[in-house]
C-alpha cells in the first residue's frame, strides 16, 4: 500500500508537471501571438504615418505651385494693363495728330486740295432684279459711250 501511495503521489506530481508544461506552452504561444500582433500593429502604424507624411508633402508642393501660379497671374494681369494703357495711348486721336505733325511733317490741307467724292450704292432686293439691273447698266453704259462718241465729232 505504501508503494501504491507513493505511485499516487508521483502521478499527482506528474500531472502537475504536465499542467505546468501545458500552461508554459500556452503562455509561450500567447506571448508569441502577442508579440506578432504588436509588431503587426506597429508596422501598420508606421505605414499610415508614412502615407500621411507623403500626402502632407504633396499638399505643401501643390500649395507652393498654387502660390507661384497666382504670382504669375498677377504679373500677367499687370502686363496686360500696361499693354492696354499703351494701346489706348497709341489709338488716341491727339497722339496720332501730334505724330503726324512732328514725325511725318504733315499739315492740314488747304481748301483747294480737298476733293469730295460721292458714291451711290444701288438698292438690291432680289437676284432677278440684280440681273435686270446689271443688264440695264450695261445697256446704259453702251448708249452713253455711243453718245459721247457722237458729241466728240
Same domain, residue pair 102 and 133: no
39-93 pLDDT, tens digit each = 999 999 999 999 999 999 999 999 999 999 999 999 999 999 999 999 998 888 8
- Domain span at 125: 120-153
The cell for 55 is 500626402
Q: Grid coordinates representing 18?
A: 504536465
Q: Domain total for the chain?
A: 2
Whether the Cβ atoms of residue 65 and residue 71 lie closer than 8 Å to each other: no
Between residues 40 and 100, the one the model is more confident about: 40
Q: Kindly state whether residues 29 and 97 are assigned to the same domain.
A: yes
pLDDT above 90: residue 123: no
pLDDT in tens, 13-34: 666 666 666 666 666 778 888 9
| Measured distance CA(71)–CA(79) in Å, rounded | 12
pLDDT given for residue 45 in this prediction: 97
Instruction: Say whether both 98 and 136 belong to one domain.
Output: no
Would you say residue 141 lies in a domain?
A: yes
Amino acid at each position: 500500500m505504501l508503494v501504491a501511495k507513493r505511485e499516487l503521489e508521483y502521478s499527482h506530481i506528474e500531472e502537475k508537471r504536465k499542467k505546468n508544461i501545458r500552461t508554459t506552452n500556452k503562455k509561450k504561444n500567447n506571448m508569441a501571438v502577442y508579440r506578432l500582433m504588436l509588431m503587426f500593429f506597429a508596422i501598420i502604424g508606421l505605414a499610415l504615418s508614412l502615407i500621411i507624411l507623403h500626402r502632407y508633402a504633396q499638399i505643401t508642393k501643390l500649395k507652393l505651385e498654387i502660390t507661384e501660379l497666382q504670382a504669375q497671374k498677377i504679373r500677367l494681369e499687370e502686363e496686360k494693363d500696361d499693354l492696354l494703357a499703351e494701346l489706348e495711348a497709341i489709338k488716341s486721336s491727339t497722339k496720332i495728330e501730334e505724330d503726324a505733325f512732328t514725325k511725318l511733317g504733315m499739315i492740314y490741307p488747304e481748301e483747294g486740295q480737298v476733293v469730295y467724292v460721292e458714291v451711290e450704292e444701288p438698292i438690291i432686293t432680289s437676284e432677278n432684279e440684280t440681273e435686270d439691273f446689271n443688264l440695264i447698266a450695261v445697256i446704259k453704259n453702251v448708249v452713253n459711250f455711243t453718245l459721247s462718241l457722237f458729241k466728240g465729232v
